[in-house]
Amino acid sequence: MELESALLVLCAALSLLLPFALRGDRSLATFLAYVVLSLLAILTSVLRLRRWAGVE
Amino acid sequence: MSELAAVLAGYLLLVGLTALWSRLRTRTGDPVDYFIASRGLSGLVSAMTYAATTYSAFMMVGLVGLSYAVGVGALCFELAYLVSTVAILSTLGARVWELSRERGYVTPTQLLRERHGSYWTTVFVVFMTALALIPYSAVQMVGPAVILSGVSRGSLDYRTAVTLAAAVVLLTTLAAGIRSVAWTDAVQGAIMLSSATAFVLWLALRAPPGTAEALGDAGLLSPLNELWTPRVFMAYTTPWIFFAVTNPQVFQRLYLPRSRRDYARMVAYFSVFGLAYTVISVSVGLLARGLELTGTMALGIDLRSRADWNRVTQQLMVYAHPVLSSLVAISILAAATSTVNSIILTLSSMFAYDVPVPERARLAAGKVVVVAFTLVVYAFALTRPAFVVDLAVASSTLLLPLLPLYLSSVYGLSGRIPYAVTALTCLPLSVYLTMGGVEVLVPREVLVLLLSLGLYAAALLVERHRRQRWF
């Protein structure tokens, strides 16, 4: 599996596991962690699709 | 009322003109143009119609209420959906786009029919999909109708508001099929995002210092708490992370971009829209709860009643300027109609292509189905179906058995017997488990998913083993 696809699957898995890891959080850490995770997934998908579309 | 009337008139004029303009660009009489715009949409329009279709009235009604009640856990649920969707669109979605061009697919179920090779199982899948999506569509009408009637202080009653939503759905669908749906979706998506942004900024400006601490002390910044337990989180999230595959109205949107580059742009723009709209919707709910906890606002929501969670947005509007509350109400109407028109057009294309209809009558049959489904959805919405989130999740659960069927058809693991066995067993089973309220050890949604995947895999192994023995 190529790197971008593996990263995307990892992001999706993390989005399911994070609530268990951050259980009991009383700060804005969960909110920020999910925004960062989403941004990472978006960036990775853009890179993967640009390569697929032939835009390097 | 005068502010609402002015905003509503402006909205209807904008949507009507956009629908008429798109009609001028249509190749009349061509069903491929009517249902998928001859695979010729730009990345931006494809992204906006994808976003407006997937993000419904649920966001500014159900998700706001959910965030208010359970806290940041609602963000985990909705962003888990976004991250999974981005992953699916970047991997499986790109392959689906290629297949649709190579094989000339117009509907999602055409892909199932051709790859698995079973005509009558596909007819069954089409009918079950319609059965699952009718309550989901009706639910979309409830939120805006309740809010419009609230903002107008009763001048616009519930029945009139639902009638108005149904009229917008019919206008945007019948004007020029997918072209009018996609272009009005683009306009409605812009209305949704801009109004929600104005609403959250207004709320943020009212939040006193210490709002975040109040939310933290109430346990609302923890992703899991007594209301949002691990079981509830899994039950809500499981159907939604596969939404991009199992829901035909979004699956069909993968056929629309005119080039690979436009497909890539569609995914990028949609992702940014999704992230912004999700963060805004959840922030509205969290800020509303924070303002209540700090004594800045009194919304009077009964947390023990899940139906009452839906009233958060409506109650916030009491404090907002009439122009702002009218804009938000119209944005919720836009979110609902842009979802329902896409569902109805996709279902009509499936009935035109995947059930026995003569080829030359496809377009006419599709238009008849559009009118028939709009009337059914309208009638169901008038009964005021219960809690928005639960019904929306139930609809997605009913479609979960389609996951192995689509995955296997895209990745070369198709088989006629596994297709028939899984569809004919798991789709009715998911209806029984969901509608019958059956309680089992694991969440129903997880059980439906595991059973569908397991049964398909087992049937495929048996089929391949038997084929090897015979040849």
- The answer to whether residue B312 scores a pLDDT higher than 90 is yes
Q: What angle do CA B439, B441, B446 make, to 5 degrees?
A: 90
- The answer to whether residue B439 scores a pLDDT higher than 80 is no
For residues B297 and B319, the answer to whether their CB atoms sit within 8 Å is yes
Start-to-end Cα distance in chain B: 75
| Tokens found for residue B145 | 């109708």
With an 8 Å Cβ cutoff, are A41 and B86 in contact? Answer: yes
Query: What ipTM was reported for this prediction?
Result: 0.94
- The answer to whether residue A56 scores a pLDDT higher than 60 is no
B276 touching chain A per CB within 8 A: no
Query: How many Cβ atoms from other residues are within 10 Å of residue B214's Cβ?
Result: 18
pLDDT above 90 as % of chain B: 80
Query: How many Cβ atoms from other residues are within 10 Å of residue B438's Cβ?
Result: 11
- Mean pLDDT, chain B, integer: 93
At B381-409, the pLDDT tens digits run 898 876 555 666 678 889 999 999 999 99
pLDDT average, residue stretch B230-236: 91
DSSP B107: S
Query: How many Cβ atoms from other residues are within 10 Å of residue B5's Cβ?
Result: 13
Q: Which amino acid belongs to residue B410?
A: V
**A38-42, B70-74, B143-147, B370-374, range with the lowest pLDDT:** B143-147
Residues 6+ apart with CB under 8 A from B121: B416, B419, B420, B423, B424
pLDDT average, residue stretch A2-12: 90
- The answer to whether residue A1 scores a pLDDT higher than 60 is no
A-facing residues of B in 351-370 (CB < 8 A) are none
For residues B168 and B333, the answer to whether their CB atoms sit within 8 Å is yes
pLDDT average, residue stretch B157-186: 95
pLDDT above 90 as % of chain A: 71
- The answer to whether residue B428 scores a pLDDT higher than 60 is yes
DSSP B63: I
Q: Which chain A positions have a beta carbon within 8 Å of B237's beta carbon? A: 16
pLDDT average, residue stretch B342-366: 94
Q: What is the pLDDT of residue B440?
A: 78
Q: Which chain A positions have a beta carbon within 8 Å of B241's beta carbon? A: 12, 16
Q: What angle separates helix B43-54 from helix B178-206, to the nearest 10 degrees?
A: 70
Q: What is the pLDDT of residue B146?
A: 86
For residues A46 and B268, the answer to whether their CB atoms sit within 8 Å is yes
Q: Which chain A positions have a beta carbon within 8 Å of B230's beta carbon? A: 19-20
Q: Which chain B positions have a beta carbon within 8 Å of A12's beta carbon? A: 80, 83-84, 87, 241
DSSP B175: T
pLDDT average, residue stretch B162-182: 96
B263 touching chain A per CB within 8 A: yes
pLDDT average, residue stretch A35-54: 94
- The answer to whether residue B191 scores a pLDDT higher than 90 is yes
Q: What is the pLDDT of residue B155?
A: 87
